[in-house]
Structure 1
Amino acid sequence: MYIDLPERRYYSIGEVAKAFGVNTSLIRFWEKEFDVLKPKKNAKGNRKFTPEDIKNLKFIFYLVKERGFTLEGAKIHLKEEKKETLNNFEIISKLESIKNQLIKIKEHL
């Protein structure tokens, strides 16, 4: 899954939800369910997601939405830190990013 977000230090929950194509309520729900998601909150309580949070969200999205894991199954999978799955996921993400960049270049030609 390719997420098109500009490189920044922090992302709002609206930006993250739009990039993933989900509601903000799902992002908030996953934040409560998964310990690896710890967005910073400002004085007003607005969530600010870091690139590390985005990486974790991508992996959770991959496990739940693309691989069909239940939430409990995804939690167990994350806790066991299956390095092989994480490495495969990172490789797939990089390849999809390259593919999307090549498609954009092709469209401009």
Structure 2
Amino acid sequence: MQTAGPSQPDLPAIPSKRYFTIGEVAALCDVKAHVLRYWEQEFDQIKPVKRNNRRYYQQQDILLIRQIKSLLHEQGYTTSGAKQWFKSQQSGDENIRYKELLRQTITELESILVTLKKR
């Protein structure tokens, strides 16, 4: 499953593998590793698997990190505002989550189409 982040077409597609190191996630989300560690402390939703004192992220973590980046860097939210946004999403309308999933699916399909056209 390859996915570009919502409203972030300049980010690379997410390779179809189960676990990603912090360095891979930093490159896929175009943020520094220390920023990922900070966001992990600030946003309870980011839950990498920890083994032998190393973090391993999954695809849903990468999508979440891309959403956080979009909220903070593109949409102008503060950290507390972004936390509130996620809180409202969790307790809010299921229709919003459906629309976001649909938007991510469309973005993924567009990314696949671009890749196929290049071949």
Return the match for 1:60 from 61, 65, 68: 68
Structure 2 unpaired stretches of 5+: 1-7
Higher relative contact order (CA 8 A, sep 6+): 2
Q: TM-score by structure 1 length?
A: 0.82
2:11 is aligned with 1:22? no
Aligned residue runs from structure 1 range 15-54, under 5 A: 15-43=24-52, 45-54=53-62
How many residue pairs are counted as aligned between the two chains? 107
Structure 1 unpaired stretches of 5+: none
Instruction: Give the aligned CA root-mean-square deviation in angstroms.
Output: 1.9
Distance change >3 Å, CA 57–CA 46, structure 1 → 2: same
CA deviations on 1:60-102 (whole Å, 9 max, x unpaired) are 2232223221111110111122445443333222222211211
**1:13/1:24 contact within 8 Å kept:** yes
Runs of 4+ in 1 over 6 A off after TM superposition: none
